Amino acid sequence: MNKKKTILSALAAGLTLSTVLAACGGDDNEGASNGEGGGEGSDFKVAMVTDTGGVDDKSFNQSAWEGLTKFGKDNSLTENEGFKYLQSSKQADYQPNLQQLARDNFNLIYGIGFLMGEDIQKVAEQFPDNNFAIVDMVVDAPNVASITFKEQEGSFLVGVVAGLTTKTDKVGFVGGVESDLIKKFENGYKAGVMAVNPDATIDVKYAEDFNSAEKGTAIASGMYGAGSDIVYHAAGGTGVGVFTEAKNRKKNGEDVWVIGVDRDQYEEGLPENVTLTSMVKRVDTATYEVSKLAMEDKFPAGEIVEFSLKDDGVGIAETSDENVAADVLTKVEEYRTQLIDGDITAPATDAEFEEFMKTVK
């Protein structure tokens, strides 16, 4: 596969996005034609399909919709006509939802989440005149933009917070579905913890579900009960249960914390104030920026668009100073600089984490 580095000008947030040209393929099947997939102003239509977490999951899907909503309002688009979403209650809904939006001649259609990869691939082939984008997955098709993030970098930083804040030297990680994507959150977090607190132990559990608050509550209960005082979740709607358990314990006088994910989840910890910090992943910026490029006929078709710490595509929440000590935030900034400068590399896989641990003293 030939690769080419491209620099795209990010328009609303002042980011710089690095893109890698991916190999393209696909059949010339008949599809709903809407020109070149571009447009201007009110002629442009953009939509998204949620995964099973739903548009109000207070995490990943909600962030994506917030980006599209801002884009729609900034460009005077009418909700449901110019910009909209279709909700998926189960995985079997993905493909028909994508097909419906393509038949309705939306210029750009997002699939939110890696679980939609195969469906985006199939529907993009069926509708070659529509443009598609998928978040957190690489799909090899000439009319698909693949949006990815270096989640391990932001997770490293919240790991530093956890490692320096824990009073028990025990912290936890709750993942949704175990996958290469969520492993990036897990391994980056573990590396950040161990970089500043090599005596810490990290309890890792997967719910194998992104939409089960009950499983999140049960897993968090076990972790807090076993001595973890900080739990980081990368579990979508399942993470709501982690907050529920933490708030219940805080009501009973326990000193426990949650680290949120994807968007600033400070308010999810109220009124008991259990959100220590959040790893912010700017899915909202991604959907806004790629939509703007598509509207201006600059859609990165067949490319991988990656958001990193250097671009402010990932990081920690602005509300972190509410509950994180000033000296800890100073340390976080030191590690942020090292990550951006390439002095250290946040691990994304189990093998990379093992290599990282060889550098921990």
CATH topology of domain 151-280+325-357: Rossmann fold (3.40.50)
pLDDT at 148: 96
The two domains 5-149+283-307 and 151-280+325-357 share their CATH topology (first three levels equal)? yes
Q: Which residues of 259-280 are buried (b: 16+ CB within 10 A; e: fewer)?
A: bbbbbbbbebbeeeebbbbbbb
What pLDDT sits at residue 42? 57
Intervals of the chain under pLDDT 50: 1-41
pLDDT, tens digit, 9 for 90 and up, residues 336-353 = 999 999 999 999 999 999
Quick one: CATH architecture of 5-149+283-307? 3-Layer(aba) Sandwich (3.40)
C-beta of residue 264 within 8 angstroms of C-beta of residue 318: yes
pLDDT given for residue 26 in this prediction: 37
For the chain, the structural domain boundaries read: 5-149+283-307, 151-280+325-357
Q: Give the pLDDT of residue 60.
A: 86
- Confidence at residue 38, expressed as pLDDT on a 0 to 100 scale: 42
Distance CA 57, CA 50 (A): 10
> Are the C-beta atoms of residues 204 and 267 closer than 8 Å to each other?
no
